[in-house]
Amino acid sequence: MLSPGTKAPDFSTKACVSIEKGQEFKTVTNKDFAGKWIVFYTYPKDFTFVCPTEIVEFDKKAKEFADRGAVVLGGSTDNEYSHLAWRKDHADLRKINHPLLHVNHAMAEAFGLLQPTAGVALRATFVIDPTGVVRHASANDLSVGRNVDEVLRVLDGLQTDELCPCNWHKGEETLTQKLKKAS
């Protein structure tokens, strides 16, 4: 899996962006979001149980990410047609507004996303800065969903460009600020 400090690979892949007839699919590339923060999360498979809880939560928080200059992209190794079928089948997923990418083989390899025994995408999260550098990377076991509020907190901390302590939240004093006061 990619580590913080590495350049995120370029990608171009198909995505399910809508359930509206004739508007379901779009090719999505990292270049579409040049100069923005990208929050890219992956989940193991469509038509599962933990995954929709995360997708819905990322979508609920999409405005909070957008307010921070970040776009949210989700995806799995299932293709865009599977994403569409799942969205049509699952009441909560019909309403989402962010793209679900087909993490094709090349993209999965480039990001280091394949879970070694199951052969599906890891439950991973990457925060990529506007210059294309991975600033945060994490992965959970396939059975445990991530905390979207924690992803927002990490993004907030990264955007301060300062030292942020454990459990720090936006609006609180950073360690950098405390050190300046002490000197």
Give the residue among 35, 32, 36, 37 at the shortest CA–CA distance from 15. Answer: 32
Output the pTM of the full model: 0.95
CATH of the domain at 118: 3.40.30.10
- The model's confidence at residue 183, banded by pLDDT at 50, 70 and 90, is confident
Give the residue among 54, 50, 44 at the shortest CA–CA distance from 103. Answer: 44
CA distance 48 to 52: 7
Q: Are 96 and 86 in contact (CB under 8 A)?
A: no
Which of the following is catalytic: 16, 51, 164, 166?
51
Which residue range(s) make up the domain with 66?
12-146
R_g of the chain computed on alpha carbons: 17
* Residue 160 located in a structural domain: no
* Residue 18 located in a structural domain: yes
Asked if residue 56 has pLDDT above 90, the reply is: yes
Task: Output the pLDDT for position 54.
Answer: 97
Residue 51 is a catalytic residue = yes
- Residue range 144-155: average pLDDT? 97
CB atoms within 10 A of CB 3: 8
Asked if residue 182 has pLDDT above 90, the reply is: no
* Residue 93 located in a structural domain: yes
Asked if residue 131 has pLDDT above 90, the reply is: yes
- Give the number of domains in the chain: 1
CA distance 63 to 58: 10
Structure token digits, residue 75: 């995806």
Task: Output the pLDDT for position 138.
Answer: 98
Asked if residue 122 has pLDDT above 90, the reply is: yes
* Residue 176 located in a structural domain: no
* Residue 58 located in a structural domain: yes
* Residue 43 located in a structural domain: yes
Structure token digits, residue 148: 């979207």
Give the residue among 141, 114, 123 at the shortest CA–CA distance from 43. Answer: 123
- The model's confidence at residue 29, banded by pLDDT at 50, 70 and 90, is very high
* Residue 66 located in a structural domain: yes
What average pLDDT is seen over the chain?
A: 96
Asked if residue 8 has pLDDT above 90, the reply is: yes
* Residue 107 located in a structural domain: yes
Cα torsion angle, 52, 55, 59, 61, sign: positive
- The model's confidence at residue 178, banded by pLDDT at 50, 70 and 90, is confident
- The model's confidence at residue 36, banded by pLDDT at 50, 70 and 90, is very high
- The model's confidence at residue 114, banded by pLDDT at 50, 70 and 90, is very high
Strand segments, DSSP code E, in 103-141 are 123-128, 134-140
Structure token digits, residue 155: 């993004």
